[in-house]
Amino acid sequence: MFQAKDIMTSPVISIDPEKSVFYAAEYMRKNQLGGLPVIENGNLVGIITSRDIRLSHPNRLVADAMTKRVFSCAPSDTVWDVAMVMDKHRVERLPVVKNSTVIGIITKTQIQKKMGQMYDPLTDIYNSAYIYQVATRLLTEGHEICVILFDVNNFGKINKKFGHVYGDSCLKEISKVLHEYTDDECDFICRYGGDEFVVVTLNKISAAKQLAAKIIDKIAFHTSKVGVPVTVSAGICGGHRKYARDYNNQYKVIENLINKASLASTQAKTLNKKYIIY
């Protein structure tokens, strides 16, 4: 659902390098496109964009006007990977290449739309779709990950007693704490759903435990300081599941880790503990 192959435009409208820039401009106008992959003998040799066209004489060959250094992605790359490549190289479109053949193309607009679906406007952090993307990438890169799931204690009662606006304020404050006390380099946070927040961390389980304990304390302290006191429980799982390059396997591994962390947090609540390690 969040791989390049799921969002790419296919089949691809492309152009031959021996066509003129004038022809390319007309072709792009007719097809309402801002860029075309340039394909010669079945191989991707460049990409011509409206910017290239603006800077080139209309008589020139596409081969002489195109951008020759083309960045591409694989069909199995995640939306997150694609966004990073686009951002790093400042490109607006990325051909999707499989076995040296262009099978699709992805534009920045498509990526932004998809990324928007991974964003939670209430708490100003990403949602569960994001955490699956990140965790998949980390597993692909061969990292071991730990999942910490934070669950607000008695959130239903808080909502009923003080109203949903109050409940929303609690969630916003929790996300602020998560932002402040996690490390962008190795911790990845999201609002998983409702009153649940997930941190995927590259830390080992012992460090993850310390991180969970610190965040639990900071949430209690910070929320009461700003007048919306809540406490959270946490479940921790992971540290031993490095995995396979297969996307479906990775997805199952992540689901499994999150599920176990969720069960652990429920158990922590039941046993009146701050956190439980599954």
Partner 1 sequence: MDTNDKKSGNRKANIQMRFSDFDLPPMQDVLLIGKRAPIGPEAVRRMVDALAPGQYEVIPVENSQIEAMAVKSSLFNWMSRDTLINTILEEGIKLVNDKSIIKATLEITISIYKEVDV
What is the contact surface with partner 1 in residues (CB under 8 A)?
Answer: 17-18, 55-57, 59-61, 63-65
| Beta carbon nearer to partner 1, 64 or 92 | 64
Distance CA 188, CA 133 (A): 11
Q: Is 87 exposed, middle or buried (0-12, 13-18, 19+ CB in 10 A)?
A: exposed
The nearer residue to partner 1, 14 or 169, going by C-beta atoms, is 14
- Least Å distance between CB 23 and partner 1? 14
Nearer to partner 1, 68 or 160 (CB): 68
Using the minimum distance from each CB to partner 1, give the nearer residue, 61 or 205.
61
Residue 67: exposure state from Cβ atoms within 10 A (0-12, 13-18, ≥19): middle
Q: Which of 75, 137, 66 is nearest to 100 (CA)?
A: 75
For the bound state, the minimum distance from the C-beta of residue 71 to partner 1, rounded and expressed in Å, comes to: 21
Smallest separation (angstroms) from partner 1 to the CB of 63 = 4
Closest by CA to 151, choosing from 277, 278, 271, 268, is 268
By beta-carbon proximity to partner 1, the closer residue of 40 and 217 is 40
Residue type for position 231: T
Distance of CA 132 to the CA centre of its chain: 7
Q: Which is nearer to partner 1, 15 or 232 (CB)?
A: 15
In the chain, the amino acid numbered 71 is F
Q: Which is nearer to partner 1, 59 or 248 (by Cβ)?
A: 59
Q: Which is closer to partner 1, CB of 31 or CB of 59? A: 59
Closest approach of partner 1 to the CB of residue 40, in Å: 11
The DSSP string of 106-128 is EEHHHHHHHHHTTEETTTTEEBH
Distances in Å between the Cα of 93 and the Cα atoms of 3, 84, 86, 115, 148 are 15, 12, 7, 15, 35
The DSSP H or E segment spanning 52 is: helix 50-55
The dihedral formed by the CA atoms of 154, 155, 159 and 165, expressed in degrees to the nearest 10: 150
Write down the residue that tokens 């999201």 correspond to.
Answer: 190
Torsion of CA 138, 262, 169, 207, to 10 degrees: -50
